[in-house]
Amino acid sequence: MPNTNQICYFLGLEIPALDFDMSVSPPRPRLPHLNSLRAFEAAARLNSIALAADELCVTPAAVAQQVKSLEAWVGDKLFLRNAKGVELTPLGAAVSADFSNAFDSLVSSVQKLRLSANPQELRIATMPSIAQLWVSPRLPFIRKTMPDLSLSVTALERPPNMRREPFDLAIFYRDQKEENQTGFIEDDVIFPVCAPAIAERLNAIADLRNEVFLHDTAWKEDWKTWLSAASPDANLSKSGPEFSLYALALEECKNGAGILIGHESLVRRQLQEGSLVAPFDFKVTLPRHLAYTTSETCTDNPVFRKVISMLAVSSGMNTPA
């Protein structure tokens, strides 16, 4: 069968010029945006848009929009929305573990890259109260011993995800039932503390009836817990000023503003200095303890091991083998 050029030749027509412009690249399929993949993975792992937003430091609306963008790219639903939140569809459930493993591997590689480039850098995450009252007093000794160390401390209300966030060490109070602790530091023991002038007029627990109770908003149940164990029939009022920062409540306690429930690991230095006094001998050990966790990528770093050893010397904490 004759081709187009042959037909044009026999009919006396001009043979058309075919334009093959190889400089023009054809459009290629695009992968979904990395942010949409992160949003889906976090929401799937945490089973919550709100928790995913908190972990990614964005708004829930932003996470929802990124998930919708991924669903549009896929052409199918990954979540079912209901009054209780979100639930993975069979399609979403089939791939969620793969995405989690992929992001775990990616973050681990990034952490290794950072530590290899900056072996003298250490990042600590901890509660504000622990940062101010437990970590801070230990920093001068560490800084003097390791002058080349670049150590940063970030105060967080909740423990970070050590597999996802760029921290090397996290120090938090954790329930005893939790199994992800790397090292035990000490039990969380509580008891009332106050300025020496107030302690002079406290001879029995009943004397607390005329005193001001100070409260930390993160540990609202401290007074109730201690009084229930120390004097369940005392029927003492537990109302009083509240502080969102335990260190501020402790400072006001030192100033004579009232009596605060002290956490032994956080008030030990003030008790030794004499700026605070424990007016009663009765103590309550809570079902949690101060513990530290580490990122998987930094455990072989000699700088990290040395910092852990110095913290252990100053606190009596148990280091991993």
pLDDT score for 71 = 95
Average of per-residue pLDDT across 42-68: 94
Length of the chain: 321
- Pick from 9-18, 90-99, 166-175, 249-258: least confident: 9-18
- Whether residue 230 is predicted with pLDDT greater than 60 in this model: the reply is yes
Burial of 226 (0-12, 13-18, 19+ CB in 10 A): buried
Rg, C-alpha atoms of the chain: 30
User: pTM to 2 decimals?
Assistant: 0.79
- DSSP class of residue 19 equals -
Mean pLDDT value of segment 90-101:
96
Domains (ranges, CATH) in the chain?
34-109 (1.10.10.10), 115-185+289-315 (3.40.190.10), 187-287 (3.40.190.10)
- The whole-number average pLDDT for the span 207-229 is 94
Does residue 9 register a pLDDT over 50?
Answer: no
Confidence of residue 307 (pLDDT cuts 50, 70, 90): confident
- What pLDDT, on the 0 to 100 scale, is given for residue 234? 76
Report whether pLDDT(268) > 50.
yes
Q: Are 139 and 275 in contact (CB under 8 A)?
A: no
Q: Are 89 and 71 in contact (CB under 8 A)?
A: no
Reported as type and span, the H/E element at residue 226 is helix 222-230
Rounded percentage of the chain residues whose pLDDT exceeds 70: 87
Q: Do 257 and 214 contact (CB within 8 A), yes or no?
A: yes
- Residues paired with 86 in a beta bridge: 81
Number of Cβ within 10 Å of residue 82's Cβ equals: 8
**CA 244 – CA 128 distance, rounded (Å):** 10
